[in-house]
């Protein structure tokens, strides 16, 4: 059994010089500093690097035009990291708008007139809470 078994990972996808990416990181770091989110660890993936782009491509559910984005994964008993499925695929939400991913638990930036390119603290918190509930 892996010592990290059950650990939840917030995979953030962004790039250098992106103000929205920096804002997502600041908001996420603030929430992850709270005791209720102690099960989480953040991994930042710069999509302008080979490693970051590889991880972005392997996720297979993110739109490159909608960065920054975040995707939740969990480490299983064998130490393997897998993305958490979205418990409510296709369900609309007032909190997420069009930012929530369909297949896996996560969000990406909605640059439409409705979304205005903003990932709110409420969106981030909702994803973290959903991940805790899904992970048991």
Domain boundaries, the chain: 8-135
Tell me if residue 111 falls in helix, strand or coil. Answer: coil
CA 81 vs CA 10, 29, 71: distances in Å: 11, 21, 12
pLDDT at 103: 93
Say which residue the tokens 């958490």 belong to.
Answer: 84
pLDDT at 1: 54
Beta bridge partners of 82: 74
Return the beta strands (E) in 52-131 as ranges: 69-75, 81-83, 106-108
CATH class name, domain 8-135: alpha beta
pTM score: 0.92
pLDDT profile of the chain (136 residues), mean per 10:
78 96 97 97 97 93 93 92 90 87 94 91 97 88
Determine the Cα–Cα distance for residues 105 and 3; give it in Å rounded to an integer: 23
pLDDT at 43: 97
CA-CA-CA-CA torsion sign (73, 75, 80, 85) = negative
pLDDT at 2: 56
């Amino acid at each position: 059994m892996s010592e990290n078994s059950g650990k939840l990972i917030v995979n953030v996808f962004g790039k250098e010089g992106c103000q929205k990416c920096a804002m997502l990181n600041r908001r996420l770091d603030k929430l992850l500093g709270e005791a209720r989110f102690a099960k989480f660890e953040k991994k930042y993936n710069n999509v302008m690097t080979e490693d970051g782009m590889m991880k972005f491509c392997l996720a297979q559910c993110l739109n490159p035009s909608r960065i920054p984005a975040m995707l939740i994964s969990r480490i299983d008993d064998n130490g393997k990291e897998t993305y958490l499925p979205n418990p409510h695929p296709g369900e609309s939400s007032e909190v997420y708008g069009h930012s929530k991913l369909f297949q896996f638990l996560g969000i990406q930036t909605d640059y439409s007139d409705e979304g205005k390119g903003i990932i709110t603290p409420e969106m981030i918190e909702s994803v973290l809470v959903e991940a805790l509930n899904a992970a048991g």
